[in-house]
Amino acid sequence: MTRPAYDPRAPQIHADPYPAYRLLRQSDPVHLVPGARLWFLTRHRDCLAVLCDPRFSARQGQRLRQRHTALPVSMLNTDPPEHTRLRRAIAPALRPPALREHERWLTPLIGTWVSRVRAAARASRETDLVAEFARPLALRVLAGFLGLPEEDLADFGGWAGAVAGNLDPFADPVRDGDAASAMAAMHDRFADHLFARVTAPRHDAFTVLAQGHAEGLLAPAEAMATAGLLVVGGVEPLGDLIVNAAALLAEPGRWRDLADPAASSERAASSERRAIEELLRIDPPIQFTARTAVQDVVVGGRSIRRGDGVVPLLGAANRDDARFADPDRLDLGRRVNPHLSFGAGPHACLGAPLVRLFGRLLISAVRDCPAEPRPGEAPAVRRPGTVPRGYACLPLRWS
């Protein structure tokens, strides 16, 4: 039998990877790329097992990157115990007390941007959700979380766009120099803010990182690399979450699934949590992650050798019919939803609580907004690349 091929760099995969995922999962769920010693996993149970297994290294998994320059040392490319130390240093910025502080400014920020949607609806104006709403909002969310001032936003936006490609191990290395120079410039600016927090602490991530340095958990370069990783893993994926969700909700009848004006506040909060989890599951910005086997392991009945690269396809795991009922259907009320959009195990996304808070607040704001999205006249354009998965532009009209 001819086994299906899967190439994450193919344009048809960028446009819609889910048919290929389904074919792989049905016919060759632990798929070896001949001659490359590289495996793609598509079943939920196999992806979860690898993500939680210390015999698979995230640090060595970064060898899949086709780059000329190395990434700074961060949680992305380290294993325990080094990874544990780096994670512990920034963790207080994402615990419940800190999130309650962030909610104070997130709520009015989101309200401001939803009011712009209302203004576009009143003017019957077609908008590009990416350029006019999602990306500027994501930039301000991450800038507020870090503690960047308004005057840094213009530079910050350029740096964030340039370094986002570091998430994709299969990206074209031609722009490697752009990402490296942007990261260096961003670190220089971040150093000023980190050292300022030593004498003037605030409720922001820079203060937490400065405290981690003071406590001996982080070297200065590690603190800046951690802040840089928050940008790489935060700005573009958060903007893509907004746009991917809006594209789904612009389908006829979908917007009404969010609205429930008779719901109690407790019921509404529960509904918002289920909705954001389902939107994360059905089309996640982060479609895969990379690991390398550090010893021989059997996964899904296949023998993976030490040194082999392994890529858990998170987007495929999220649509595994052995784990999810009717997995290709968007069900905003889905109650059992163990998706892998934030990964799992020691490297599970540390920023997940902030994303979930943002998503819940955004859904709460837009469900009260009378403006309803519809596809615009201009075509929607997917951005090249599979990680992060998103749109270059998404024209919408608001009824």
pLDDT, tens digit, for every residue of 130-175? 999 999 999 999 999 999 999 999 999 888 888 877 667 666 665 5
Of the candidate CATH numbers 2.30.30.100, 3.20.20.80, 1.10.630.10, 3.50.50.60, the domain formed by 11-398 belongs to: 1.10.630.10
Q: In this predicted structure, what is the pLDDT of residue 278?
A: 96
Confidence (pLDDT) at 262? 47
CB 142 within 8 A of CB 236: no
Looking at residue 1, its pLDDT comes to 44
> For residues 55-69, b (16+ Cβ closer than 10 Å) or e, as one string?
ebbbbbbbebbebee
The answer, as to whether pTM is greater than 0.85, is yes
Residue 352: burial class (beta carbons within 10 Å; 0-12, 13-18, 19+): middle
> Which of the 8 DSSP states describes residue 42?
-
* Chain CA centroid to CA 163, Å: 14
> Residue 180 corresponds to which tokens in the numbers above?
């490296």
Along the chain (399 residues), what's the average pLDDT of each consecutive run of 10 residues?
Answer: 71 91 95 89 98 95 71 86 95 96 96 89 90 94 95 90 73 66 89 93 95 92 91 91 93 75 61 93 94 96 95 97 96 94 95 95 85 89 87 91
pLDDT for residue 183: 86
**Alpha-helical segments (H) within the chain:** 11-15, 18-27, 44-51, 58-61, 82-90, 96-122, 129, 135-146, 153-163, 176-199, 205-214, 220-232, 235-249, 265-282, 314-317, 352-366
Distances in whole angstroms, Cα of residue 309 to Cα of each of 5, 36, 65, 184, 266: 17, 8, 11, 29, 45
Read off the DSSP letter of residue 330. Answer: -
